[in-house]
Amino acid sequence: MGIFGRVPSGGGPGTSRRDRRQQGVRGRSKTVARRESEHRAQVVILAGIILTAIVVLGVGAFGYYQTSVQPKQETVLKVGDRKFSMGYVEKRIRYEIQNGSQAQLASSSEQLAVVQAVTATENEEITRINASQQNISVGEDEIDVRIRANLGVADSADQATYAEAYRKAVHDSGLSPKDYREIIAAGLLEDKIRWSITVGIPATADQVRLFDIQVATQEEAQKVVDRLAAGEDFSAIATELSTDTKTKDKGGEMGWMPKAALEPAAGDAVFALEAGQWTQPIAGSRGSYFVYRVAEKGAAMAVTADQQKAIEDQTFTTQQDQITQQTTIDRRYLPMYSEMWNKLAEVAIKNGAGRATGQ
């Protein structure tokens, strides 16, 4: 002890150099420890902030995926092994309304716009299957030639002119270049299938002068047969009841018809009849029922250009129908007014469908 009592712990004149060093080390250690503690606290707080941000962003991203991304990937139509997503069908609806050959019809109703888009998509895939079975294909050069023609770009125009017109057409269509070209290719495949049918049509064929009555149900068709059996006139009944707008006002007369121009079931039934006879009710491929009457029969008659077109149309339709029956098709957009249907209808409305009729 000094004269003033105990020497302070911080040291004084009487404190040894060693004691002062130890005291300094202890002070610095406390400072370092405090700083490390503060640093750890800051790291924990920063990590918490980052984690919170990640969670918030993750929840937002997941919500965006669920509401915006995932629905686009949902399958709307499945034809065989090929799936068509909501995103694709939405684009196809816009394409059909804005660029399709029946755009005016589609614009009259959002329901028609949806049906047109998914039906066109389905029919094109059936055409691809049909072409594949017949070993019919198209090349990229053929697709470019058709696109040039569709866009009105002359064959003599340079590549840059075509490329700019093509880029704009794809952009305006709302489709990807792949999807745009695939639609063009499907049209070319149909043309080639039809050409293969046309070149096989004979110059002459046995024919019948035919009349028809078209009605909605088998029961209605049976009533027609009963009235004919009771002695009523075929043409009078056709004028009264038939829903075939092409023949109704002509008393049901279809004119001379080769067998290949008729649906298979109708052709088989009709050509088994004698002149003056009529068929029993026959189901059509589109849901209606028919009763046919043979007025006359002719052998080896010349096949006209109109008849050639009718044979081409019917043969192509029969091919497509057969493939459709053989193919598993999942139309998930049905039934009408389901949640998926309503989503597609909303897309159609946003792109102009329904405005023409004020719907």
pLDDT of residue 22: 59
Question: Is residue 222 over pLDDT 70?
Answer: yes
Tell me the per-residue pLDDT of 134-183, one tens digit each, with 9 for 90 and over. Answer: 999 999 999 999 999 999 999 999 999 999 999 999 999 999 999 999 99
**Domain spanning 204-302 has what CATH number?**
3.10.50.40
CATH 3.10.50.40 residue ranges for the chain: 204-302
Nearest to 91 by CA among 76, 109, 108: 76
Q: Is the pTM of this model over 0.85?
A: no
Question: Is residue 357 over pLDDT 50?
Answer: no
For 218-224, which contacts have Cβ atoms below 8 Å and span 24 or more sequence positions? 218/281, 218/283, 218/289, 220/289, 221/281, 221/282, 221/289, 221/290, 221/291, 222/281, 224/281, 224/291
Question: Two tokens at 323?
Answer: 């493939």
Tell me the per-residue pLDDT of 26-54, one tens digit each, with 9 for 90 and over. Answer: 556 666 667 777 777 777 777 777 777 67
